[in-house]
Amino acid sequence: MNRFESPGSGEAKLKYLDGDYQVISPGSFVRCAITGTPISLDDLKYWSVARQEAYLDVHASLRAETTS
């Protein structure tokens, strides 16, 4: 770990629940399952409980719904 990085500055692992999520492994972001774009936990609004995936925006969420 870089001395300027805090332990929670990497990618988090979450369990996605209805309307909330549980942090399994601390971090500051997750990746969009469609685009691979990092999403700050503060900005995370879209995910699938059934697929346990995070999405950058409503468009990525819709794409996941229509391609599965």
Q: What is the pLDDT of residues 32-67, one digit of tens each?
A: 999 999 999 999 999 999 999 999 999 999 999 998
22, part of any domain? yes
For residues 30 and 41, is the Cβ–Cβ distance under 8 A? yes
33: which DSSP letter? T
1, part of any domain? no
pLDDT at 9: 81
Which residue range(s) make up the domain with 31? 13-67
Whether 22 shows a pLDDT value over 70: the answer reads yes
56, part of any domain? yes
62, part of any domain? yes
21, part of any domain? yes
4, part of any domain? no
φ, ψ of residue 40 to 5 degrees: the values are -60, 140
Number of domains in the chain: 1
2, part of any domain? no
